[in-house]
Structure 1
């Protein structure tokens, strides 16, 4: 029986090649797109799951409201880890990280810049799953000046994985002994470092400073421990531990501190949620966004639904062509269940063909998708093991769902009505088909509006006046590696033709290491007269090089020695300080982590606010200090021969740095990198929106063909009576165009609501413009009309004699 079903189904599909082609193509495109998105979603959801204790690992986050600002950090004070383990028996182990940036590592005569370095406690191996190739977990990071490296790094520097006992030299004169080699950390990790340096070698890790939050702290709970209950205890824990230092610093108790509206809260955040649900200060790497996972999962479902809708629409639309087949079969005694089985077999067979094509297409398109998504997805044995059974289930489910209505609809025909020719045919009267067409195009219009809004926001980001000029600025990193030669380097670069101005600074508006501190309006350190602010060390040329505008006062001057105690604040800081005139006012700030010394500064200028963080955030207080922080050099260019100038800068850097690696970038590219996830999202959105529209149009194309076929005689009569081609095209098109209009009415408010919520994530955003909705609607109508017109014109141009002869 099954063999007969398959043979009959195959013959039917071959006989109706056009129908089969459209359905197979539509389903294949939908399934291929769905598979690619599923790969992306599963990759995003798999972060940190390689850790065997992932459900018991939590990071200690820190939320602070003080000095007019509320900030959240993925770090906590140095003594937090040890104190937590001592105070809470439900904590099995703790570990700290301290990110101090990269170092130069010597390999032969070459110095290689390595950025993936971090200080870590030896307990890292008890908390995280980091398999060792060689070395001992018990002692790997217990002694100062020791380091654990990964497999790739061991091969890079020593051409072997058993590198225990070897020595690496950092920054020309700092020897570090390799005590262990671990396997490379999986890419699906919220942190991914090549070097783990022993924490005992870092003096600040031993300080009892409760108001200096620099250490990423993780806790491993004992099995069965209640994380929520423990998290609720951490605020009181911090009050108890840090209370004496708060009293010494501000002469306050925590009760009075909080009565004024300030607070400091510690809380636990699950390891498995960090990648997708955490984007706060001091993260150990760039995280994803759970919103994008939801969005792409929804897009995948939409595309698959559109493909299934096509199948149902085309199958019911061609029902008249098979009505007599069903009637004859029923007269000959075929039960309805056999007819249903026959049509479901055809549906599953089409789905199977489409799935095979979809798998091949997804495999072929994976490299392109990786490029768009910034991923390194690959089809591994593990993926094959779960995807093959999943695809088999999908074939059955989609085949049955997509073929269920046609099967039930066709098998329900009454033989007498069929053979008398009284079965209603054509597009008219197909309420379900009309609903499905509306559904398809509503989804397509929703995606079109979403794509236009995303692109509009990205263009707004690119064109917005940030308050500084990022164009034609070359950034050279690691100036500290030049030592005192950095000053000479700056002077020599200034002399190059094509250089407008040069600045050396510790921070840049496009990212990098930054410090935050609190400034007080008096020595009493009154918390009500404080501002928490970013603190950047810059030179006298910084403002000129980045073309930051001054509101009042003046810039730093190398000729004025007192400027080392001067400050330039931005408008946001001036507003919170609330001085009648901020110029020449005095501010105080802690001079060490233990808060035992205070530094005194006076305000010499106020600069206009500029966006030094993502446009998702409002501009917060910022203070410039005058000094020589050799973090990076910004070079404003005015040359037409940029490659030559870069070569000259690189040559001078290597001369003064004695072979140090020359690293540079352009500030506008660094700015674009801040929004790379949005740019990738935009590209993927455009691609899959286009696929959704193509699949929807395939269905509309097929429906139009059947509608025209079923009205062949009517068209012939109208032409004989003098109807023009345009009149016939209009007649065949109006029903479909009306459905597209209905789709616009349904999709527009839903799309506006969804994209409005997405834009809420940006402090600076472009509102949804009326023309976006108009353009999406007009585009959908135009696409639908072109699709319909192809078949309509073809039908309208048919010889009426041939039409009237047709049966």
Structure 2
């Protein structure tokens, strides 16, 4: 019996090649989209799943006077870990992490620069379950000057030598040696914590750290007892803060906890999150999953539409089978079998499509996604069952509908395909195109917003600016490097700073006094620069003067932005900004304000311009050098910079990045969202058009005699095309009416996440509507023209 069902199903699929192809292509594309997105979703949800303890990260809400708004940050203070454990029995353990990038490690004559290492407490491996291959988890980091290296890092340093017990040296501000006390397995890619080595934090302890309340420069993780009420614990924090930091601590800071398993995906609104690898908002992950599911549902809708539309062709088959004793459930199983077979064939094509698409998807998402179906029997079985389920889901309504025909009526030729069935098909077509139009509108707005952020004038120039990290470069070395670079026509300017524009800049406390008014203490963003910074970046001054190269390194001169100027004057209404020039300002109010810069977007356009001051203090040193190059000779300029670097700093590797590329990285997630939404929108349009094409083909086929009669009576090709297309065009128009308000609501809500955003223009909706109508018309017209140009003699021949 089952063999017979499969044989009949295959015959029906082969007999109706066009409709079968439409269903298979639609289902395979929908399945492929779903598989890829689900791979991404599962990968995202797997982050930090290797750890078994109940770990939470300590975070702060900083509410400083002088900042436009409070901000959530991932940072915390050095004394918080041990004092929290002492105060609250719910906290079983703690560990702190201080990260360091481009960390130099030397062994004998060999030197490497590790991308990132952590300084951690000895409790780190008691809380986190990173695999330790050699060494003792409990004691490996207990003593000062201990280090654990990953396998890859150990291989880079020692080659084939046994690393255990050997000594490596770090040359920085102080020369420090570390003994290798263990080897770790390489950190999995789905860990938010990525490091090449763990160094004992107690090596660098100093007494000042233990009383440094207010200094936020590390991450603190807490192991909580099982069943801890997080909200109840957080409510106890203000009393703790008051005890150790006084009333000001409660006013300026609010502490909150975030589960380790939520840190990767649920911390989009938390800034200064430096060691959260591949951080991605879970809301976007869920959105991708929802859209992929819609793609698959639309593919299933095609099957339902085409099956019910072609029901009259199967009516006599049902009548004959029922008249010879077939039961309704047997017929339903037969029709479901056809659907499942189609679904399984589609699955094969879907797997091929996924294999082809994965390299591109990995490049786009910067993930290492894979589909190990052949190596994983469980996954293969799951995918197979999913395909069977999709087949059943797609075919259950057509199976019930087709198996319900009464043999007496159908064998007399009086079967009704039903107005209700036509109404259902119309609703499904409208739903398909409404989804496609919503995504089309969303794609246009996402691309417009991304382009707006990329093209908007940030208030400074970033074209042809190359940034180079100054790892362990002294101020004296920088000055020599700068002078030699400026000797070439390939270089148009050189400056340096402690931070790169487009990154999170540090905040610090400052004091300000205007005339005889009381001294005011507030917080603002700080950017330490050399005297040529404003000139190279073409940051305009609203008033005052720029830094001078002749000034003493001991003098304290500051340039503030307009946002900070307004903040300083908010208690002095009526006073012009010029009154701030020459006023006492700085870390201890001994410096002076010499200029006010026009506001510029030193951060992402997701955020409003914050208060900022620039400080020219070479004695503090710089972390990055910015070189403005001759854009017409960019390759020569890079080669020249590299040669000067190799000459002056041969011991330090040369790394560079164009500032434009850095800002592209700032907007990387927005670019990924734009690309994914665009791809899924195209897939939905293609699948919807396939369904429309199938319905149009069937409609033209059913009305072939009517078309022949009309042509004989003088109807033109144009008349026939309009006749056959008008119904479908009406459905697309209705889909637009439904889609527009939904898209408007969704886009308006999405754009609220940007401090600087585009307007919601009416023409985008009109454009999407026109495009959808044109696509539908072209799709339907292909079959309509074919039917209209057919020879009426053939269509009017006898049965």
Deviations 1:203-231 (A, max 9, x none): 45733111112121010012232222212
Matched, 1:622 2:620: no
Evaluate the alpha carbon distance shift between residue 325 and residue 190 of structure 1 in structure 2; reply closer, same or farther with a 3 A threshold: same
Matched, 1:690 2:682: yes
Q: 1:568 aligns with which of 554, 559, 572?
A: 559
Tell which deviates more after alignment, 599-608 or 311-320: 599-608
Deviations 1:699-752 (A, max 9, x none): 111111000011111001000000000110110001101000111111111112
Contact 2:374 2:380 in 1 (8 A): no
Aligned counterparts of 1:134 and 1:625: Cα–Cα separation in 2: 48
Aligned counterparts of 1:804 and 1:563: Cα–Cα separation in 2: 101
Calculate the TM-score normalised by the size of structure 1: 0.93
How far off is 1:425 after superposition?
5.1
Matched, 1:396 2:413: no
The residue that corresponds to 1:780 in the other structure is: 772
Aligned counterparts of 2:361 and 2:559: Cα–Cα separation in 1: 46
Matched, 1:607 2:597: yes
Aligned counterparts of 1:374 and 1:427: Cα–Cα separation in 2: 51
Contact 1:232 1:267 in 2 (8 A): no
The residue that corresponds to 1:249 in the other structure is: none
How far off is 1:98 after superposition?
1.5
Aligned counterparts of 1:436 and 1:161: Cα–Cα separation in 2: 67
How far off is 1:483 after superposition?
5.5
Contact 1:479 1:633 in 2 (8 A): no
Aligned counterparts of 1:540 and 1:303: Cα–Cα separation in 2: 56
Evaluate the alpha carbon distance shift between residue 85 and residue 699 of structure 1 in structure 2; reply closer, same or farther with a 3 A threshold: same
The residue that corresponds to 2:177 in the other structure is: 175
The residue that corresponds to 1:267 in the other structure is: 256
Contact 2:303 2:395 in 1 (8 A): yes
Aligned counterparts of 1:433 and 1:96: Cα–Cα separation in 2: 61
Tell which deviates more after alignment, 423-432 or 409-418: 423-432
Aligned counterparts of 1:233 and 1:636: Cα–Cα separation in 2: 52
What are the equivalent positions in structure 2 for 1:33-182 lying under 5 Å apart? 33-53=33-53, 56-69=54-67, 70-106=70-106, 111-160=111-160, 162-171=162-171, 173-182=175-184
Q: 1:357 aligns with which of 334, 349, 354?
A: 349
Deviations 1:456-488 (A, max 9, x none): 111101110101111010111125335621110
What are the equivalent positions in structure 2 for 1:399-414 lying under 5 Å apart? 399-414=391-406
How far off is 1:35 after superposition?
0.2
What are the equivalent positions in structure 2 for 1:148-547 lying under 5 Å apart? 148-160=148-160, 162-171=162-171, 173-203=175-205, 206-243=209-246, 253-254=247-248, 262-279=251-268, 280-283=270-273, 284-285=275-276, 286-380=278-372, 384-424=376-416, 430-478=422-470, 480-481=472-473, 484-511=476-503, 514-522=505-513, 529-547=520-538
Contact 2:630 2:637 in 1 (8 A): no
Root mean square deviation, CA, Å? 2.3
Aligned counterparts of 1:437 and 1:226: Cα–Cα separation in 2: 49
Deviations 1:308-360 (A, max 9, x none): 00010111111121122122222333222221111111111111111122123
Contact 1:472 1:637 in 2 (8 A): yes
Tell which deviates more after alignment, 604-613 or 714-723: 604-613
1:276 is paired with a residue of what secondary structure? coil
How far off is 1:160 after superposition?
4.3
How far off is 1:45 after superposition?
1.4
The residue that corresponds to 1:592 in the other structure is: none
Evaluate the alpha carbon distance shift between residue 332 and residue 381 of structure 1 in structure 2; reply closer, same or farther with a 3 A threshold: closer
How far off is 1:429 after superposition?
6.3
Evaluate the alpha carbon distance shift between residue 162 and residue 681 of structure 1 in structure 2; reply closer, same or farther with a 3 A threshold: farther
How far off is 1:110 after superposition?
6.2
Aligned counterparts of 1:236 and 1:665: Cα–Cα separation in 2: 46
Query: What count of residue pairs does the alignment treat as equivalent?
Result: 782
Evaluate the alpha carbon distance shift between residue 752 and residue 384 of structure 1 in structure 2; reply closer, same or farther with a 3 A threshold: farther
Aligned counterparts of 1:174 and 1:502: Cα–Cα separation in 2: 33
Aligned counterparts of 1:799 and 1:527: Cα–Cα separation in 2: 96
1:481 is paired with a residue of what secondary structure? coil
Tell which deviates more after alignment, 262-271 or 606-615: 262-271
Deviations 1:213-267 (A, max 9, x none): 2121010012232222212211221111112xxxxxxxxx45xx87xxx442111
How far off is 1:393 after superposition?
2.6
The residue that corresponds to 2:628 in the other structure is: 636
2:63 is paired with a residue of what secondary structure? strand
The residue that corresponds to 1:593 in the other structure is: none
Unaligned stretches of 5+ in structure 2?
Answer: none
Deviations 1:156-215 (A, max 9, x none): 111248522223332375433222211112111222111222211224573311111212
Aligned counterparts of 1:564 and 1:334: Cα–Cα separation in 2: 99
Tell which deviates more after alignment, 771-780 or 558-567: 558-567
The residue that corresponds to 1:559 in the other structure is: 550
1:521 is paired with a residue of what secondary structure? strand
1:805 is paired with a residue of what secondary structure? coil
How far off is 1:774 after superposition?
1.2
